[in-house]
Amino acid sequence: MEPTSATMPIPVDWYLYLSAVLFLIGAVGVLTRRNLFIILFSIELMMNAVNLNLVGFSRFHEDMLGHNFVLFTMAIAAAEAAVGLAIAVALFRNRQTLMVDLFTRMKG
Amino acid sequence: MKAADLIAVIPELVLLVAACAVLLAEAFRKEREASSLRGRPRRVAVALALAGTLGSVVASLALVPGEARVTFNATFVLDEWGIFFNVLFGVAAALTVLLSPRYLQAHDRHLGEYYALLLFTLIGMDLLAGARDFLVFYVALELMAISSYLLAAFFRYRLRSNESSLKYFLTGAFASAVLLYGISLLYGQTGATDYWTIGRILGSEGAAPAVLLSVFLVGVGLAFKVSAAPFHMWTPDVYQGAPTPITAFFSVGPKAAAFSVIIAAFIFGFGGVAKEWSVFFIVLGIATMLVGNVVALVQTNVKRMLAYSSIAHAGYMLTGLAAVGWSRDVYPAMGVLVYLAAYTFMNLGAFGVLGYLKTEAPSSFDYSLGRLAGLGRRSPWVGLLFSLFLISLTGIPGTAGFIGKFWVFSGVVLADLWWLAVIAVVLSAVAAYFYLRVIIYMFFREPEEQLVLDRPLRGGAAVALAVCAIATVVIGVLPARLWDAVTEVFATFLG
């Protein structure tokens, strides 16, 4: 019989490799980039790696728990992005820059 | 969902109603003088916030009799454990509400949204303590975290407050992404998100690398929240830049909530790898105590010094957690709960005194040590109160701080980790230097320039500081009641 997508689904570890790579790219982005917007994108990338993981596992376990979880994380990621952008606006009004290494009023 | 399910979340529902009422009351206010709009007392909002926080405490205490209330498909439990934390968080938030109005008025930023955000943070903390499922846990954690980012940024026209919030937000969001990745791996291995099922399945797997990786990621995410070294970098900046009453709240509330969830999740969910996470917490605990105490020695800004001191206190509690895993016994965790209760009052009090000084001398007081010189002789009551809190933070017998340290360290010794207890005791002796130095400045140094306070201590701040002082002394002198309460909590906690 010809293999089809129904008889030979993508194995779950492929999802895992993809999500691990995405997560690492996001983590490196947060730690090395200096522009606030790029950092926000990188955090979103990390969250989406998690979503991919959850959906892949949900398919593997053949239950809906992972899908439910993803709905919650997406809603929370949206709320978090809203707060992050609000902070960015407040910062830009005060300093006219979004390079986070310039915000060093407090040290020590 | 049945109506009976809601009984267990009555304290949170009370808070939710109060928070919405505060927002509505603010929306329907008639503003007459636009110029002095933000400097006015907001009696309605303050009263509603106080009613909400104290209402949740009363509701929690009223739910005491009866067995554990397991609701929402066993994802949320209200038992003695949840009630203990609801009361602790509710009292801490009520004291913060009392400390806030004059401070916010002095900074021309007295808005009702502040109290609503505080109540939302409190709801998140309460849910966190009662969560028994990683989904509820994550949602509650984010409710707490997102509200606190906004509270840190509350003085949004000040760069310091913006910067504080930025650092809090970036580290917090990064930490929750790491935590979430760990949770997704746990779900992958077990097919479940509730603590018990995960604990059962992981217990049969033993210390497989995948198990250790997911426990490690969850542990790192929570280490950010309790500001354990090396994940503490954000703490001093956030605490220094945020409004002082909010700093007081951050240093006790969200930190205690994170500790509550570490104890519950790691005992129920990760009991199978207890030895392994115990080593993780031993390393974190030693690093945290070292960094907190040593860096606090060189601080000249008192607010920043107290921030490092709160890092050090998290380190002491982490040794207690490590002992829980090492001995597979909850006895040291009882000490951690006593410590959390003691720490809540003494740390709120210490930051509260700083908030009062900033309120009455907004332009001249810059939190530097030199500014405190001579304070003890000019305002003896304020000086004595501050000294009491600092002595308690040092851990001198007769105060709450000593009782907390005593129970935690004795738990550590009983778990056969006596060398860890020795390190902790030596480092808390080092801490005496920077706490007592402040007292010496207040009472025995001549000021270069007198700090002029507009008004003596009175009103809400006086009540809050008096409550903190009385609780610090009472826990220190008569710890038996608190110990009995904690024993009862653990009698029902393990089911």
Residues 156-185 of chain B whose Cβ lies under 8 A from any Cβ of chain A: 156-160, 162-167, 169-170, 173-174, 177-178, 180-181, 183-185
Assigned token pair, B107: 């900074």
Inform me whether the pLDDT recorded for B36 exceeds 70. Answer: no
Q: Measure in Å the smallest separation between the Cα of B356 and chain A Cα atoms.
A: 22
Using CA coordinates, name the residue in chain A closest to B163.
Answer: A103
Region A20-47 average pLDDT = 94
Tell me if chain B has a CB within 8 Å of the CB of A15: no
To the nearest whole angstrom, how far is the Cα of B241 from the nearest Cα of chain A? 8
Decide: helix, strand or coil at residue B478. Answer: coil
In the prediction, which pLDDT does B15 show? Answer: 96
One-letter identity of residue B1:
M
Q: Which residue type does B44 have?
A: V
Residue A85 predicted with pLDDT over 90: yes
Residue A66 and residue B138: Cα distance in Å, rounded?
A: 14
Question: Which of B180, B198, B224, B237 to mutate to test binding with chain A, by most A CBs within 10 Å of its CB?
Answer: B180
Q: Angle A48-B256-B51 (CA atoms, 0-180°, nearest 5)?
A: 100
How many beta-carbon contacts under 8 Å exist across A and B? Answer: 117
Residue found by looking up tokens 């303590």 in the block: B129
Could you give phi then psi for residue B438, rounded to 5 degrees? Answer: -65, -40
d(CA B476, CA B470): 10
Statement: residue B37 has pLDDT above 60: no
Q: B235 or B455, which is more confident?
A: B235
Interface check A84 vs B, CB under 8 A = yes
Long-range contacts formed by B137-141: CB under 8 A, 24+ apart:
B137/B261, B137/B265, B138/A72, B138/A73, B138/A76, B138/B176, B138/B179, B138/B180, B138/B183, B139/A72, B139/A76, B141/B176, B141/B179, B141/B225, B141/B261
Among B171, B184, B198, B234, the strongest candidate for a mutation testing the A interface, having the largest count of A CBs within 10 A, is B184
Cis peptide before B230, with omega less than 30 degrees from 0?
yes
Query: What mean pLDDT comes out for the span A48-55?
Result: 94
A4 touches B: beta carbon within 8 Å? no
Average pLDDT of chain B? 91
Radius of gyration of chain A (CA): 19
- Higher-confidence residue: A96 or A52? A52
Q: Tell me the percentage of chain A whose pLDDT exceeds 70.
A: 91
Of A27, A39, A53, the CB nearest to B184: A53
Cβ atoms within 10 Å of B104's Cβ, excluding its own: 25
B45 pLDDT more than 80: yes
Of B239, B298, B303, B244, the residue nearest B434 (C-alpha):
B298
Interchain CB distance below 8 Å, A65 and B193: yes
Q: Taking 90 as the threshold, does the pLDDT of residue A50 lie above it?
A: yes
Considering chain A, what percentage of its residues have pLDDT values greater than 90?
62
Residue A94 has pLDDT above 90, yes or no: no
Q: Which pLDDT belongs to residue B38?
A: 61
Nearest CA in chain B to A48: B177
Give which of B50, B42, B15 is closest to B26, Cα–Cα. Answer: B42
pLDDT at B432: 93
Does the structure show a pLDDT above 90 at B206? no
Say if the Cβ atoms of A50 and B184 lie within 8 Å.
Answer: yes
Most A CBs within 10 Å, among B156, B162, B186, B297, to test the A interface: B162
Q: Quick check: A95 contacting B, CB < 8 Å?
A: yes
* pLDDT, mean of residues B128-143: 94
Q: Do A46 and B174 touch (CB under 8 A)?
A: yes
The pLDDT, as a whole number, for residue B32 is: 59
Mean pLDDT in residue range A56-66: 90
**pLDDT of residue B238 exceeding 90:** yes
pLDDT score, position B227:
93
More confident residue, B39 or B377: B377
Question: B454 in helix, strand or coil?
Answer: coil
| Lowest-pLDDT choice from A90-104, B2-16, B284-298, B395-409 | A90-104
pLDDT band at residue B182 using 50, 70 and 90 as cut-offs: very high
Predicted confidence at residue A53, as pLDDT, reads 93
Average pLDDT over residues B339-344: 95
| CB-nearest partner of A87 from B169, B183, B240 | B169
- The answer for A 47-66 residues in CB contact with B (under 8 A) is 47, 49-50, 53-54, 56-57, 60-61, 63, 65-66
Residues B41, B454: contact at Cβ < 8 Å? no
Q: Which residue has the higher pLDDT, B470 or B488?
A: B470
Task: Mark yes or no for CB contact A91/B241 under 8 Å.
Answer: no
CB-based contact B347:B307 (threshold 8 Å)? no
Chain B partners of A49 at a C-beta cutoff of 8 Å? 181
Straight-line distance from the first to the last Cα atom of chain A, in angstroms, rounded to the nearest whole number: 68
pLDDT tens digits, one per residue of B349-387 = 999 999 999 998 888 888 888 888 888 888 889 999 999
Q: What is the pLDDT of residue A1?
A: 47
- The mean pLDDT of A28-45, rounded to a whole number, is 93
Question: Which residues, in sequence order, are CB contacts of B14 under 8 Å at separation 6+?
Answer: B52, B55, B56, B59
Domains of chain A: 12-102 (1.10.287.3510)
For residue B146, the model assigns a pLDDT of: 95
Model pLDDT, residue B159: 87
The pLDDT value recorded for residue B39 is: 64
- The verdict on a CB contact (< 8 Å) between B139 and A76 is yes
